[in-house]
Amino acid sequence: MERIILGIDPGTTIMGYGVIIIREKKLELVTMGVLKLHKLSEHEDKLKRIFERTVALIEEYHPDELAIEAPFFGKNVQSMLKLGRAQGVAMAAALSRTVPIFEYSPRKIKQSITGRGSASKEQVALMLQSIMKFEQPPEYLDATDGLAAAVCHYFQKNPGKPEKKFTGWQAFLSENPDRKVG
């Protein structure tokens, strides 16, 4: 059985996305990229473009699920508000096409990919490059952030359920043989 997951890293300057397909428990990269919104001056135009691009991705790749990064709490309230709107518009696009949505905190995504919730964007990109076997990291790390949301969702055995605790690396690896790299 195949499953397609669209991952989105929302943003009002750059929105990152990644699409993966799971075939027989094997992960494959379909595409990743960014939507650049620098040239649009009006916030409403950016939101419209985010909605349109998300719908276009859904119509092109027919994902079974959408994994999206949740806005993080920061000091700049205006930035948080704009980011929340960008996330909401991407979610509305998925809802308009009846695609189930799964939301993950930035820390959860980083931890899922690298094992460390405080990992840098570069560390996430390098780990994804190893897991997904792509040659060059993209020009914008927002693309790997969108991909990371999709891969994080794949790694979740039971989205929305409490995480299982492990006593060490050996216990983790014995429960997750598909997470071994190399």
- Asked about 142 being catalytic, the answer comes back as yes
- Asked about 9 being catalytic, the answer comes back as yes
Per annotation, catalytic residue among 28, 44, 45, 69: 69
d(CA 139, CA 144): 10
Residue 103 token pair: 């939301």
Per annotation, catalytic residue among 9, 42, 44, 45: 9
Which amino acid appears at position 40 of this protein? L
CB atoms within 10 A of CB 180: 7
Query: Cα–Cα distances in Å, from 153 out to 3, 42, 45, 133?
Result: 12, 32, 29, 18
d(CA 182, CA 173): 13
Per annotation, catalytic residue among 65, 142, 163, 175: 142
The catalytic site residues sit at 9, 69, 142
